[in-house]
Structure 1
């Protein structure tokens, strides 16, 4: 699966943000939703959520993507 990268840029507010979502296996056979976010050009923060099934992880990724797109992020 390929990572989804979302951007939100508003020069009037000095806002240059990114949000990266990906699904990856961990060492224990579970699937993780990996979310990384921050200011474009800087190191971001990272959060991982583990799921027993890949379909659950993909559903969580789609849910998070919809949430971010409602807040103004655009997929590249």
Structure 2
């Protein structure tokens, strides 16, 4: 599952983005990958491991909701229940 969210740029600066990915690992666990930064510039990548899908999905949804509250808008969604 993957989401890309962006903020509207203020002035001439490139927009900021947040990309969230939920991936299964080889050992039956789950990994939440968060990438944040400014388009065309350096970004930050953080990984968080989970043992079960339910807790990983809850963390994914919390991260999404926090980004939406900060003014990010959904640009791209891929995976389970993604809008067409």
User: Could you tell me the TM-score, scaled by structure 2's length?
Assistant: 0.78
SS in 1 for 2:8: strand
User: Could you tell me the TM-score, scaled by structure 1's length?
Assistant: 0.85
Whole-Å separation in 2 of the counterparts to 1:57 and 1:13: 37
- CA RMSD after TM alignment: 1.7
Structure 2 residue runs of 5 or longer lacking an equivalent are 76-84
The answer on whether the counterparts of 1:21 and 1:33 sit within 8 Å (CA) in structure 2 is yes
Give the length in aligned residue pairs. 75
Structure 1 residue runs of 5 or longer lacking an equivalent are none
By percentage of residues, which structure has more helix?
A: 1
Alignment of 1:3-18 (within 5 A): 3-12=2-11, 14=13, 16-18=15-17
What displacement does 1:12 show?
3.1
The structure showing larger relative contact order (alpha-carbon pairs under 8 Å, at least 6 residues apart) is: 2
The answer on whether the counterparts of 2:9 and 2:16 sit within 8 Å (CA) in structure 1 is no
SS in 1 for 2:7: strand
